[in-house]
Amino acid sequence: MKIAFENQVAAPQLPSRTAYGDNQTGTHLPERAGFLNGVIVPEQPGKNAIEVRGVRKVFGTGENQVAALDTVSVSIRENEFFTLLGPSGCGKTTLLRLIAGFDFPTAGEILLHGKDIAPLPPFKRPVNTVFQSYALFPHMTVAQNIGFGLEMLGKPKAEIEARVAQMLKLVKMEALKARRTSQISGGQQQRVALARALAPQPKVLLLDEPLSALDYKLRKEMQIELKRLQHETGITFIFVTHDQEEALTMSDRIAVMSAGKILQVGTPRDIYDRPAERFVADFIGETNFLPGTVVSKQAGVATVKFASNATISAGYPEGFDPTGEVTLVVRPEHADLVPDPAKGTIAGTLANIVYFGTDTHYHVKLDGGGENFIVRHQNSRSSAVTYETGVKVGIQFEEDAARVLKD
């Protein structure tokens, strides 16, 4: 049962897309269409490598039923480095396994270039996986591992050899091609796993936390390496990770997942600067949460009053209607300390100063109570003002630094 890739990728005709509540930004809920601050990028039909439509995955039966994925829809574009980011148990690996074909969705469709692949077994999908454990065949050499997929596809021997040589060069493993996989280091195994998955030239490469077993320095190297490989091969990468830093530095777009749902899809900057929900803001980067009351609102900007009676205008995501008691989020680096408490938006007492080398964190105990507010200052050669713990300070926000978010 050999696979003709062409059969599966030709036929880009798409059924009606609106029926699935999909929208133009690639997020699954219509009310989230304004993530890109009104900039709507029109997608051309057929330019999506993978489209996940209303996919549900339920494990177990009867009372033990667990919905690992709760009606997820997402579009992944061609040649994109797309990351599924979320804490463990959020369903990101389940989604990846559904795309790979190791599991079948309980409901919904998975389209590869417009063709539903959800019912196909993995060996009939032009999609390859880099496993978290690498899953290299211990009874084969490095070169045999890399050539395995091509061999299974029934490619001629000369072609396999040429392609394996090319892949060995791509991942810089030429010198070790005759080694057994047990005779090479973890980082080298990682490279072989990548080469093995890339060798059959899949339409989409799935990566299931491939860097989690590597030490910090090697991980940094492999992050750059992965970006380079994606750039050189032009293959769509779907990368699963729980490491937000990894997601931010590598991805073209990120989908943040929690409890079987996709909360937000966007570029790293979107996700970081304009989180759609409190969970997203909390999960990615450090965030200050400030309680306040909405006084008035218009055109996506709400005026919020704090306990100290100070007011501030803050944006909120489209489709969310903030009223009454709300939570404001402010990134530590988007706030500033001022020596005069009266000049700040809010005021407090400097409780702690933590020096991090590149920057300094100031922990401020707010006058209104609640959690300490953290202000991050980039350290420069000539820091003008020095602060000491115990002094009264004001906290100033940059223009539209604060956002009102759904809990």
List residues near another protein by CB under 8 A. 1-3, 59, 68, 94, 97, 100-104, 121-123, 127-129, 131-133, 135-139, 148-149, 152-153, 182, 196-197, 200
What three-state secondary structure class fits 270? helix
How would DSSP label each residue in 144-186? HHHHHHHHHTT--HHHHHHHHHHHHHHTT-GGGTTSBGGGS-H
Distance, CA of 160 to CA of 155 (rounded, Å): 6
Least gap, CB of 241 to another protein (angstroms): 16
Closer to another protein by Cβ: residue 237 or 362? 237
As measured in angstroms, the least distance from the Cβ of 71 to another protein is 18
**52 vs 383: CA distance, rounded Å:** 50
Nearer to another protein, 26 or 149 (CB): 149
To the nearest whole angstrom, how small is the minimum distance from the Cβ of residue 8 to another protein? 12
For residue 201, the minimal CB distance to another protein (Å) is 12
d(CA 23, CA 312): 32
The whole-angstrom separation of Cα 256 and Cα 262 is 6
If the CB atoms of residues 192 and 401 are measured against another protein, the closer one turns out to be: 192
Show the tokens assigned to 56.
Answer: 């549900």
Compare residues 86 and 149 and give the one whose CB is closer to another protein. 149
Q: In this complex, which beta carbon is closest to another protein, that of residue 136 or of residue 265?
A: 136
Cβ 25 vs Cβ 40: under 8 Å: yes
Distance between CA atoms of residues 122 and 108, nearest Å: 17
CB of 82 to another protein, least distance (A): 19
Nearer to another protein, 23 or 181 (CB): 181
Q: How far is the CB of 118 from another protein (least distance, A)?
A: 11
Give the shortest CB-317-to-another protein separation in angstroms. 33
Nearer to another protein, 14 or 213 (CB): 213
Nearer to another protein, 3 or 14 (CB): 3
Note the helical H segments in 199-277: 216-233, 244-250, 268-273
Distance from C-alpha of 159 to C-alpha of 156, rounded to nearest angstrom: 5
* Minimum separation from the CB atom of position 221 to another protein (A): 23
Nearer to another protein, 153 or 353 (CB): 153
Shortest CB 182 distance to another protein, Å: 6
Burial profile 178-196: b = 16 or more Cβ within 10 angstroms, e = fewer: eebbeebeebbbbbbbbbb
Phi, psi of 302, deg, nearest 5: -110, 145
All residues at 6 or more sequence positions from 302 whose CB lies less than 8 Å from its CB, including other chains: 294, 296, 313, 314, 315, 316, 322, 326, 404
CA dist 247 and 280 (Å) reads: 13
